Amino acid sequence: MCSAVAACRPATVQSPCIRTAQNDRAAYSGHMSDEIALTGLTVFGYHGVFDHERTEGQEFTIDVRLRLPLAPAAASDDVLDTVHYGELAERVAAVVAGEPVNLIETLAERIAEIVLSDERVQSTSVTVHKPHAPIPLSFADVSVTVHRARSSA
């Protein structure tokens, strides 16, 4: 391998020092470490197993992390080459404000499905916080996190 001190010398066989667009694409398609995070999205909804939760409602806070290659967007500087987090926030909010479910596990799953509907997203983590859950004890928060990845099939 080339070091910062040693210069690459031309060789008849391609040296590991030579970078090509093909090598760059291969590197980007490997381990997915790029991430977009949307945290603290607070939306009023009517989810829960108790009747009063369904009639009175409460605030839910959502955190979403999505992993996808961000190099294409960085190279083009075009929002069309990435997930538009404003539009994502609106779609997530519509799920939380929409059809009630009993469990926040179900709500998290529905949000994960929305995130993965964009084919560029390889995986997601969705946390649904229910800070006003009907628990007769002092607590700061109750949350559920689901981790979902696109199937390779």
* Entry pTM: 0.78
Question: According to the model, what pLDDT value does residue 32 have?
Answer: 56
Is 106 within the bounds of a domain?
Answer: yes
- pLDDT at 146 exceeding the cut of 80: yes
CB atoms within 10 A of CB 148: 17
Burial per residue of 6-38, b for 16 or more beta-carbon CB atoms within 10 angstroms, e otherwise: eeeeeeeeeeeeeeeeeeeeeeeeeebebebeb
Q: What is the per-residue pLDDT across 45-67, written as a single tens digit (0 to 9) for each?
A: 999 999 999 999 999 999 999 99
Q: How many folded domains does the chain comprise?
A: 1
Question: According to the model, what pLDDT value does residue 33 have?
Answer: 82
Is 16 within the bounds of a domain?
Answer: no
Q: What is the mean pLDDT of the chain?
A: 85
- Please report, for the domain that includes residue 38, its CATH number: 3.30.1130.10
Domain containing 50 equals 31-149
Catalytic residue numbers read 130
Is 8 within the bounds of a domain?
Answer: no
Q: What is the per-residue pLDDT across 22-31, written as a single tens digit (0 to 9) for each?
A: 444 444 454 4
